[in-house]
A and B are shown apart, each in its own frame.
Chain A
C-alpha cells in the first residue's frame, strides 16, 4: 500500500501537516488527502476501521482516544482524548481546530452492558454530546455516529423488520440501551442547531466475529444457561468487517444523512444459535428467568441485567434496505455465517458438531438466500403479477407506518 501512495503525502507527519492548511474537499490528491478524525479509534470497531481506512490510503487518519490504535500503520496519528472528563468537549474542539478534519467519525462506545453504568453513560451518551458539540463549534459538516439497532427495543409488537422511521422504544429501565438513545437524541439536536451538518447515524446490529468479545457471543457460549421458556426470537449478528465496510461506505457518501440500519442479511433463531455455540438452555418460566438474570447480574456473574433479557424474548431485527440503497452497503456475511464463525472460534474444537458440514450448509443457505430473497426494491418497481391486469406504475408513497392494521 505504501508504494501506491500519492507523492507528496508520504513524507510523514510534518509534511502532511504543512500541506494540510485549508480544507478543500476536492483538492488534487497530490496536495492533500481528506482527513478523518476517528474518536474511539482504538476500540474494537475503531481499530478495525482505522486499519481498513489506512490500508485504502485515501484519507489521513487521526485517532482520538486514550491509547493509540494497535497494529496500524505509523502514519496514523494519535491524539489523547478522554471523553469521560467533564470538559472533554473543549479538548476535542481544540484538537479539531488544530487538525481541521473533513469528517469526524465517532465510534467510542462500549457495546456491552457494564456494572460501571456511570462510566458507560458518561462515554456512550455524554461522550457523543461532547464530540457533537465540538464538531459543531469547529464547523465540521460531516459526522458519522455509531449506534445500535438495540435502540428500537425488543417488543412483542415490533414488525419483523424495523425500518429507520420506527419509533425508538427500548425498555426505559434498560440503562445500557437508553444511553444509545440519548446519544441519538443529541445527534438530532445537533442537526437542528447546525442545519448544514450531515450527520449519519449508523445503527449496527450486535457485532460478532471470531475475535470480538461481545456480550452476546459470551452469553450464547455459556455452557449451561437459563432461557425464557417458550420464546425463541430471531436474532441478527453483524460481522465486524461488514460494520467497517458500512462506516467506509458512509464516509464515501458525504451527503448521506439520517439513520441507517447496518444489518446483515438473514436471521437465526436463538435456539439455533445456542446449538451452534454448544450452549445447553434450561427453560425457565419467563418471569422467573428475568429474576435469575437480574440476580446473576447483581452477583457479578451475569452478562447483562435482567431487563435486557427482553432481547432474548422478542424480536429486534432491523431492515438494511435504506443502507443498501443510499450507502451502497452490501454485507458479505449472513447472520448464520457470522454466528457460525464466532461459535467455531469460541468453542475451540470441543463438542461433536461437524462444523465443516455445517459451514457447507451455511454457504448453501447463503446462496439459496440470494436466489430466494430478491431484496425488495422501492415500490415503484413492482409491477402487477399473476391474474392482475397490468396496472400503472405506482408512485412513491408516504412512509409513515400505521399501527394496528390488518388485524
Chain B
C-alpha cells in the first residue's frame, strides 16, 4: 500500500482510468511529457510497477475488464500446470510432472527407496506389473511409478489400474486421471496393453491395501484372476513387483468398518496416530523401502485359457507364490524397519 502511495497518482484521473467504457484516454506520447494518464513511471517499487502494468494492459485492451476476461484469467490460472493435450485416458503429462517434487522427496528422502531388477522391465512394449498392495493409502503405487520414472533407463511411465472406490471419489477422480491412473477394469487394461503401455495392477485390491498390521506381508487372495486373463489375452509378460517397507508406514491396528461404511469408505483404519492425531496422523512413517522387479513370467498358453477359470486361478496362484517368495527373501535380508540395516 505504501508503495502505491508513493506513486502519487492524481485521484480524479485514476477513477476515470479504471473505467474501461471511457474511451477518452489519449495515447501517451513517448518522450513528450505525459498525457492525462495515471500510469506511473515504471521503476517505483514492485507493487506500483505491477499496478502500472495492469493499468497499461487495461488501457490497451479494454476487453480485459469484461466478466468473460475474468473467467478466462481464473480458468487460465487453474490450468497453469495443465496442457490441452491429454491422452485417451486423460493423462496430462505436465500436470503429473508438477507433482514430481513431492514424489521425489518421498522416494529419495522419506522412504529412501532401493530398487533392484529394473532390467526385468522392458524398455519398450507392453508389460503387466503385478505388485503386492499395502499401506492403507496407495503410496506403493506412486512409488513404483516414481521408481520407473526416475531410475528406469527408458523412463517408463507405468499406468496403474486403480480401484473403483478411488476413481469415483470427488477430487481424487480428476487427480488420478491427470496422473495417468486408470480405473481397474478388463476393458481399460486391454486397451492400455494393446497400446504397448506398461500397466500396473495390485491384484489383492482392497484386501491388500486395508490389511491389518498383524497380517503384513502375507498376500491376500489375488482377486478373481483378472490380471491373468489380461495377460493371456494381450500376450503381455507379467513382471512381479515386491514392495517391502510399505506395510509399516501406517500400522493398521484395527478396522472400524461401521464408521467407514456410512462415509462411503471401504474401511476405516485405526493406527497408533490416525484418528488420535487427526490430520497429523496421516503422515506416513519414514520406513526404509525396497522395490524389487522380478523376472518376467510369460504364459505360453493359448488365449482361450482365459475362459477356463480353474486354470486361470492356478496361474494366478503361481504368480502369487512367486511374489510371496520375493517378499519373503527380501524380508529375510532386511534388518531394521527404519534403517534397513
Contacts and interface: CB of A to CB of B under 8 A. Distances in A.
Is the A/B pair a real complex?
yes
Interface of A: 156-157, 159-161, 163, 223-224, 228-234, 266-269, 271-272, 274-275, 278-280, 286, 314, 336, 347, 349-353, 358, 361-362, 364-365, 368-369, 372-374, 376, 379, 382-389, 391-392, 394-395, 397-398, 401-407
B64 A352 contact: yes
Interface string B229-254: 11001111100000000000000000
A406 B161 contact: yes
A388 B237 contact: yes
B68 A223 contact: yes
A229 B171 CA distance: 8
Nearest to B184: A406
A195 to B, nearest CB: 29
B150 interface: no
B296 A405 contact: no
Interface in B98-143: 120, 122-127
Contacts of B206: 407
A319 to B, nearest CB: 8
A267 B223 contact: no
Contacts of A382: 194, 234-235
Contact of A269 (B88, B90, B191, B201): B90
Contact of B187 (A159, A364, A387): A159
A163 B230 CA distance: 17
B61 interface: yes
A406 B75 contact: no
B68 to A, nearest CB: 4
A391 B296 CA distance: 15
Contact of B304 (A272, A350, A387, A395): A395
Given A368-B85, A395-B304, A404-B224, A160 B183 contact: yes
Given A160-B188, A352-B73, A368-B85, A267 B90 contact: yes
B336 interface: no
Interface of B: 61, 63-64, 66-76, 78-79, 82, 84-90, 92, 120, 122-127, 161, 163-164, 167-174, 177, 182-189, 191, 194-196, 201, 203, 205-206, 223-227, 229-230, 233-237, 296, 298, 300, 302-304, 306-307
Contact of B189 (A223, A272, A383, A406): A406
Contacts of B189: 406
Contacts of A392: 302
B205 to A, nearest CB: 4
Contacts, number: 214
B202 to A, nearest CB: 9
Contacts of A369: 85
B188 A352 contact: no
B75 A280 contact: yes
14 contacts: A230-B172, A230-B174, A271-B78, A314-B168, A349-B63, A352-B63, A365-B84, A373-B88, A376-B194, A397-B306, A398-B307, A402-B186, A405-B184, A407-B163
A83 to B, nearest CB: 36
Contact of B87 (A156, A364, A373): A373
Contacts of A349: 63
A160 B182 contact: yes
B85 A361 contact: yes
Contacts of A163: 187
B72 A387 contact: no
A182 to B, nearest CB: 26
B233 A394 contact: yes
Contacts of B120: 387
Nearest to B123: A386
Contacts of B184: 405-407
A386 B127 CA distance: 8
B72 A278 contact: yes
Contact of A230 (B66, B79, B173): B173
B187 A232 contact: no
B97 to A, nearest CB: 17
B223 A407 contact: yes
Q: Nearest 9 A-B pairs (CB), nearest first?
A: A405-B226, A230-B170, A386-B122, A385-B125, A386-B125, A232-B174, A156-B168, A159-B187, A406-B226
- Name the prevailing secondary structure of the A interface residues: loop
B226 A407 contact: yes
A153 to B, nearest CB: 14
Contacts of B71: 223-224, 278-280, 351
B79 A272 contact: yes
Nearest to B120: A387
A279 B231 CA distance: 44
A379 B231 CA distance: 12
A383 to B, nearest CB: 8
A314 B87 CA distance: 17
Contacts of B172: 230
A385 B79 contact: no
B237 to A, nearest CB: 5
A238 B8 CA distance: 56
A286 B307 CA distance: 40
A231 B174 contact: yes
B173 A394 contact: no
A175 B314 CA distance: 47
Contacts of A406: 161, 184-186, 189, 201, 203, 223, 226-227, 230
Contacts of B167: 156
B226 A351 contact: no
A351 B84 contact: no
Contact of A266 (B67, B88, B237, B304): B88
Contacts of B171: 229-230
A352 B233 CA distance: 49
A223 B67 contact: yes
Nearest to A375: B195
Given A278-B68, A278-B72, A368-B85, A161 B223 contact: no
Given A271-B79, A405-B186, A232 B177 contact: yes
B70 A280 contact: yes
B50 to A, nearest CB: 18
B298 A379 contact: no
Nearest to B75: A275
A233 to B, nearest CB: 8
Given A352-B72, A405-B185, 8 more contacts: A156-B168, A157-B183, A223-B68, A231-B174, A353-B76, A386-B127, A404-B224, A406-B189
Contacts of B191: 160-161, 376
B229 A376 contact: no
A350 B66 contact: yes
- Chain B CB within 10 Å, residue with most, of A347, A387, A389: A387
A231 to B, nearest CB: 6
